Structure 1
Amino acid sequence: MSDVIVRVAARGDGVTADGRHAAFAAPGDTLTPDNVVIPGPHHQTPPCRHFPVCGGCQLQHLDDASYADFLTDRISGALAAQALTAPLRPPLLSPERTRRRAALHAEVKGGAVRLGFSEPASHAIVDVQECWILTPALLAVLAPLRKLLARALKGRARLHVTEVDQGIDLLIEGKLAEGLAIAEGITTFCGAHGIARLAVDDGIGPETRWEPEPVTITLGGVAVPFPTASFLQATREGEASLVAAVREAVGAVRVSADLFAGLGTLALSLPGKVYAAEAGRDAIFALKAGAAQAGRAVFAEHRDLFRRPLTSAECDRFEAIVLDPPRAGAREQVTQLAASKVPVVAYVSCNPSSFARDAEILCKGGYTLDWVQPVGQFRWSTHAELAARFSR
């Protein structure tokens, strides 16, 4: 007897009601006894020629409705594991071709260059000829970049490409050949293809080879200095969704804190006076410089919140606190928050499991999880993000 796929598991497999798994199956597909997937109403034809060999996407076979359901299920399942529930809003999905930052791989063999994402669970590089997630500007630079790397790259490299205010920020982690011809080739490439900065890290730290004017990224209307290959929300649409959710969560506060502030994506969008804490030295100095230049009331502190979280007494100084921790979550900081009197906590997360763990700590401390806003800015991947509001 055939079974119907009812959901998509965390790693992207379709699952039937009795627990059978099938790769590249969508809800509504039929799985035959000999494990053949018969497409159903939510199974779309993957648009990219490189799917599923390329590891950049895992879920291109899902239509938007089933992809949104997958994100919702990831979050609700993580909350249920901690015996929590919350109103989940409809996911906000970033459109295709909007990813403004990516980590790619390149390799030169026999004078030929392969440039693109790695295959799943492999070091093999898919030589990307098209991409349905990268912005057109990032995709357009790959062809001329191949020509440069064919002459300059020695072996293999990891490439970080990011759209910034001035164009494209490019970091090459690998070894380039030396010599006047290579240097002139880099200059010609950068000048002709909208490169804002090119830096090379051959193992001892980034060395800038091209930066005609200081590179910035505009956050909350403020041009913030952008350290090489810094973290940035993956899409402009995803960033806007998270910022809007956080602003709604905290309301018209006069004094708030942004913890794990990074470059200030959220801090520079908050009203009133803002305390911003971040462990990354380059990031917090960039935020401090940008806020000062723009005259924003942001006090930025270099502080490792894993080793030295704000105490509950320090938290009590604020009308609202915003958290945007890395994937590991913020157990140490949340433990202090749970013992505080802060009226509102806005939590942005890129990991539903660590979020749910931290949410349980807050709820045991007397907070209510008011709502969760799923955000899908890593389109067609198994990566789920969210913003949530807690209140007491």
Structure 2
Amino acid sequence: MNTEIDVKITRLGAQGDGVAESEGASLFVPYVLPGETVRVAPQDGDRAALLKVLEPSPSRIAAPCRHFRQCGGCAVQHAAPDFYADWKHGLVSAALASRGIEAEVAPLVTAAPRSRRRATFAATRTKKDVMLGYYARATHNIVAITECPLVVPEIEEALPALARAVAPGLSRRSRASLLVTSTENGLDVAVTGGKPLDGALRGELGHEAEASGFARITWDGEIIAERLPPEISLSGLRVMLPPGGFLQPTRQGEAALVDLVREGVGKAKRIVDLYAGSGTFAAAFARTSSVHAVEGEKRALAALDRAMREQGPLLGLKPVTVETRDLARRPLLSSELNTFDAVVIDPPRSGALAQAEEIARSSVPVVASVSCNPATFARDARTLLDGGYQLERVTPVDQFLWSPHLEVVGIFRRT
């Protein structure tokens, strides 16, 4: 095969790569747009590296980040907003069509730059310093960054301090992961993959953590320093975020999801919140409804339960009961679900097929399904439709700007 060839991009695939035809086979090229003629270097399999854009699309724009194409964090910064929104909207339509579902998809609820309140960075030691950034595309090579137009300013501004704070616990032989979250009381930093803790390292990290001014630093789940409780506000309920705990990536996106789900369930008085986390939806609905929150992660539910006991009466919230349960292995049965007026479900990317099958057997009037994966959303939606539900509304919510990922909210009603 030639080391360089010119190809015409016909469409953008589900992962943000352009698709071209070469010698009767599909070729996937990153950082291109439909209609462009580009020069590429074919690689192993069906991949190709972009060398030059020969005929650019009218929808091509200058990327807003200097690290684009070196860092692997973003796939489509080069696309104009209108094209980008249409492409993401189409991902949901295509996922539904693949399961034979005909439904009108509402316009995309878009994300704003500098709105991500959490990000995961990679870090390692070099001969002289610390390298902190994101992995290059499809590699374990860290690209050091000085800016990131995805994250909120307080995270971007803290990049040098993050490197200093974790430096004592890094080695040149390993890659550590830093999950950084902007909370109500400052940054929460959860580190995994660094050196094993011992007395000396714990002391060094504690000193650096105090100097950094971060709210909390944890190391492989152990709290090293906590200046202030890293709280998050969930519809006015302040919840202590467990180390590494789940949180919607943007405040605006979280509000959009809550509003869409609230509109869908209407005046339901008894709600079961499945895969409840620390209470994103439970906290919102407790203002008007009793809620049973079910989640497999004990620490997340404990944080919600504590916040409700301490603040619920002062906020005038209705009861929220909690149940620790692995819903993938032991979903709520239809007989258990039938005691509720509405189901809210927000599973992980793998979806919730077993739970969807039980919901499909139930008589619950309305189901609000939230998903971060259109493919598994469509699979589970097919199960609900086959069980007699009607898909009333589908709305894509983009919390993952310039990436192929997005959230979907679907409202199902029993017919």
Separation in 2 of the partners of 1:371 and 1:5? 33
* Contact 2:168–2:201 under 8 Å retained in 1: no
**Alpha-carbon deviations, 1:339-387, whole Å to 9, x = none?**
1111110000011111111000000111111111101111001112111
Map of 2:32 onto structure 1: 25
Deviation at 1:319, TM superposition (A): 1.0
Deviation at 1:33, TM superposition (A): 8.8
Map of 1:258 onto structure 2: 273
Separation in 2 of the partners of 1:164 and 1:141? 14
**Alpha-carbon deviations, 1:79-127, whole Å to 9, x = none?**
1111002111111111111111111110102122110110111110010
* Contact 1:107–1:114 under 8 Å retained in 2: yes
Deviation at 1:249, TM superposition (A): 0.8
SS of the residue corresponding to residue 45 of structure 1 reads coil
SS of the residue corresponding to residue 408 of structure 2 reads strand
**Alpha-carbon deviations, 1:185-236, whole Å to 9, x = none?**
743x4445441101112xxxx2212113333211121011211121111111
- Superposed CA RMSD in Å reads 2.3
**Alpha-carbon deviations, 1:15-64, whole Å to 9, x = none?**
4699665432224x432698845222211111111111111111111121
Map of 2:403 onto structure 1: 381
Map of 1:244 onto structure 2: 259
SS of the residue corresponding to residue 154 of structure 1 reads coil
Deviation at 1:146, TM superposition (A): 2.1
* Contact 1:7–1:70 under 8 Å retained in 2: no
Q: How does 1:196-215 map to 2 (within 5 A)?
A: 196-201=215-220, 206-215=221-230
SS of the residue corresponding to residue 89 of structure 1 reads coil
Question: What TM-score comes out, normalization by structure 2 length?
Answer: 0.87
Map of 1:70 onto structure 2: 87
1:124 equivalent among 141, 144, 154: 141
Separation in 2 of the partners of 1:170 and 1:313? 42
Change over 3 Å in CA distance of 1:139–1:364 after alignment to 2: same
Map of 1:234 onto structure 2: 249
Map of 2:362 onto structure 1: 340
Q: How does 1:127-276 map to 2 (within 5 A)?
A: 127-155=144-172, 156-173=175-192, 174-175=194-195, 183=203, 186-187=206-207, 189-201=208-220, 206-270=221-285, 271-276=288-293
Q: Are residue 362 (structure 1) and residue 381 (structure 2) matched?
A: no
**Alpha-carbon deviations, 1:271-316, whole Å to 9, x = none?**
3101110001111111111122222311111111112211111111
Q: Which stretch shows the higher mean deviation, 253-262 or 30-39? A: 30-39
1:12 equivalent among 16, 19, 33: 16
Separation in 2 of the partners of 1:254 and 1:152? 50
Question: What TM-score comes out, normalization by structure 1 length?
Answer: 0.92
User: Which amino acid in structure 1 is aligned with residue 271 of structure 2?
Assistant: S
Separation in 2 of the partners of 1:181 and 1:77? 51
Separation in 2 of the partners of 1:312 and 1:252? 22
User: Which amino acid in structure 2 is aligned with residue 88 of structure 1?
Assistant: V
Deviation at 1:163, TM superposition (A): 0.9
Separation in 2 of the partners of 1:168 and 1:9? 36
User: Which amino acid in structure 2 is aligned with residue 247 of structure 1?
Assistant: R
Separation in 2 of the partners of 1:306 and 1:98? 31
Query: What 5-or-longer segments of structure 1 have no aligned partner?
Result: none
User: Which amino acid in structure 2 is aligned with residue 162 of structure 1?
Assistant: T
Deviation at 1:148, TM superposition (A): 3.6
Greater RCO (CA < 8 Å, at least 6 residues apart): 1
**Alpha-carbon deviations, 1:133-176, whole Å to 9, x = none?**
11111111111222344455333311111111110001222117
1:56 equivalent among 73, 83, 105: 73
SS of the residue corresponding to residue 161 of structure 1 reads strand
User: Which amino acid in structure 2 is aligned with residue 72 of structure 1?
Assistant: H
Separation in 2 of the partners of 1:37 and 1:366? 52
Q: Are residue 391 (structure 1) and residue 397 (structure 2) matched?
A: no
Q: How does 1:243-322 map to 2 (within 5 A)?
A: 243-270=258-285, 271-295=288-312, 296=317, 297-322=319-344
Query: What 5-or-longer segments of structure 2 have no aligned partner?
Result: 1-5, 41-51
User: Which amino acid in structure 1 is aligned with residue 268 of structure 2?
Assistant: V
Change over 3 Å in CA distance of 1:164–1:32 after alignment to 2: closer
User: Which amino acid in structure 2 is aligned with residue 183 of structure 1?
Assistant: G
* Contact 2:9–2:33 under 8 Å retained in 1: yes
Change over 3 Å in CA distance of 1:32–1:322 after alignment to 2: same
Separation in 2 of the partners of 1:90 and 1:234? 20
Separation in 2 of the partners of 1:118 and 1:324? 28
Map of 1:94 onto structure 2: 111
Map of 1:351 onto structure 2: 373
